[in-house]
Structure 1
Amino acid sequence: MLPSQLYRLPSLQHLDVSHNLISSLNNEIKNLRVLQYVNVEGNQLEGLPVGILSLSLSELRLGGNYTHPVLWTLNSVNSPPSLLHTAAHALALIQPEQRYSTLPPAARLVLSRASVCECCGGPWFGPGLKLIRPIYGLFGLSSVPILFLSCSASCYSRFRKQSHPLTQPLHTG
């Protein structure tokens, strides 16, 4: 993993972290708005984070990673969410935020740590469920595997079944 300070360099234009045994990139890569060139060749990446979709890269080098479509199913194997994360997700969906004050402090702490689901935009607790989807024609490549994290089993299932516009091959001409 790269140091978190890297994602706070607003003027970074060129990132070459090739051949470093990196297994993931942080979604905070989206903060590197002027980034033009990324070389992550020869690492152990399964896919790129959703945050990369916010960038306007002129070149992306991705070869030599674990990103081949044959590996997508294997790399999307998930453990079931913990009972705590499942309960927090259910509670966040039924309990309006303004009523959190009636909950015990430990429950409020868990609920305060919610992230936003990359698939449905709802509340997300815990590590999430991984799903790799290709984005066609991104950064001049035929397809780029993007690693989405969903908030729940039902969200994962819906997202997996939907025909997302970004996952359709781009037709030219």
Structure 2
Amino acid sequence: MLAELLREAETSVERRPSADIQLENRDDVIIQSRASKFFCGEQRTSSPFDDSSGNEAIGPAEVAILQSMVTGGHMLSFKAHFLSELPSLLPLSNTLTHLNVSFNCLQVFPKDICQLTQLKDLRLRNNPIREIPSAIRSLKSLQLLSIPFNLLTDLPQGLFELYSLEELDVSHNSLQWISRDIQQLCNLKRLNVQCNQLSGLPVTTLNIQLQQLLVDSNYFHQLLWKENTHNSPQMLSDMCCTVLAKHSTVSAIEEYPQDIQALLNNPTGTCDYCQGAMYGCGLRAIRSINNNNNNNSRHLPFILQLCSAPCLYTVMNNEQLKWKDDHVIIH
């Protein structure tokens, strides 16, 4: 019986066309089917992701997308593919949760990433990206953003609207400051800002219950605090608005000329010491602040925004400063 089966197999092989035998012996052929919608030997007749025609070779990035789609479309890695741009990610826009684009040549943050509404883990290590678009705010489910060893000089406002973010790594960039809006990341547990050009952290960082804070290799030494807090003279209009806002009642303000009222009704922020309205750029101070709720913050420099010279004088001449109820108090 076995001998008959062997003879039948040999006969069927002999009857095959020679072209088929040659096709099987080729190591570089992935799909051996004669009828294929997208592939024809080594070349493809059309992209599996759009209807455009062409004879381009299938790239490793597209193979990675196909593999991800086959396995459910939840994870995708382009790590060390040396890509200058990404292929279309739209087929995975509703399923992808983990994306790794580390060690590539991306100079611009890929726009398709902002359409991955289910994304939870995004890694962009070692790319020459200079800017993150504000459209990143659309990644509402993002929990981890890792973008070290890039060329970032600023973080967009949209990043601070990622309220589910738990880990942020922006180390080894060229950041010179971080917005006070970082306090909006209420679920943030781990923050890494190592190896940047920061002279201090925004004092609102103390409102976040961080479990890990990495700040090495920045301009945080106390000898640099004075150098990094040179204040320009305040504009006379800003100083007047500060005084009027502190000492005027609501009824008195309504009697002022309309142009004065317009200035008073548009402060640029709140003083970190007196909690009064701040107009213009205010005055800047770098101080160490105690915070019982965050042991990671001890002896770190925090940047304070102050409304007037008296507030600046008080803060600079008191060593025991404490952060409480969103403002600085004398401990």
Q: How far, CA to CA, are the matches of 1:139 and 1:12 in structure 2? A: 21
Work out which of the residue numbers 107, 123, 136 in structure 1 matches 2:277: 123
- Alignment match, 1:145: 301
- For normalisation by structure 2, the TM-score amounts to 0.48
- In structure 2, the CA distance between the partners of 1:51 and 1:23, relative to structure 1 (3 Å rule), is same
Q: Does 1:46 align with 2:199?
A: yes
User: Which of 243, 248, 271 in structure 2 is aligned with 1:95?
Assistant: 248
Higher helix share: 1
Q: 1:86 to 1:96 in 2, by over 3 A?
A: same
Structure number with bigger Rg: 2
Tell me which amino acid in the other structure corresponds to 2:231.
N
Alpha-carbon offset, residue 136 of structure 1: 5.3
| Match for residue 56 of structure 1 among 209, 217, 225 | 209
- CA–CA distance in structure 2, aligned partners of residues 38 and 86 of structure 1: 36
Distance (whole Å) between structure 2 residues aligned to residue 141 and residue 53 of structure 1: 7
Number of the residue aligned with 1:77: 230
Determine whether 1:162 maps to 2:328. Answer: no
Tell whether 2:169 aligns with 1:16: yes
Letter in 2 for 1:155: C
Distance, in Å, in 1 between the alignment partners of 2:258 and 2:320 is: 39
Amino acid at match of 1:76: T
The alpha carbon displacement at 1:105 in A equals 2.6
Note the C-alpha offset of 1:32.
0.6
Residue identity opposite 1:117 in structure 2: C
Paired residue type of 2:285: L
Structure 1's 92 and 140: CA in aligned 2 closer, same or farther, altered over 3 A? closer
1-structure distance, mates of 2:236, 2:195: 37
Shift, 1:77, TM fit:
1.4
Unaligned regions of 5+ residues in structure 1, if any?
Answer: 168-173
Identify the match of residue 37 of structure 1 among 158, 174, 190: 190
Q: Residue type matched to 1:30 in 2? A: Q
Asked whether the 8 Å contact 1:59–1:139 carries over to 2, the reply is no
* 1:60–1:139 Cα contact (<8 Å) kept: no
Q: For residue 171 of structure 1, what is the aligned residue in structure 2?
A: none
Q: Deviations over 1:74-105 (max 9, x none)?
A: 11111111111111111112221343332233
Is the CA contact 1:132–1:148 (under 8 Å) kept in the aligned structure 2? Answer: yes
Q: How much has 1:106 moved relative to structure 2?
A: 2.2
TM-score by length of 1: 0.88
SS for the counterpart of 1:92 is helix
Q: For residues 126-171 of structure 1, give each alpha carbon's deviation from its aligned partner in whole angstroms, at most 9, with x where no partner exists.
A: 111111111358443652111111110111001212243439xxxx
Distance 1:103 1:124 in 2: 19
Runs of 5+ consecutive residues of structure 2 not aligned to the other structure: 1-153, 324-331
Q: CA deviation at 1:108?
A: 1.8
Structure 1 residues 39-97: Cα deviation after superposition (integer angstroms, max 9, x where no partner): 11111111011110101111111111111111011111111111111111111122213
The alignment's C-alpha RMSD in Å is 1.8
Instruction: Tell me which of the two structures has the higher relative contact order, counting C-alpha pairs closer than 8 angstroms and 6 or more residues apart.
Output: 1
Q: Which amino acid aligns with 1:52?
A: T
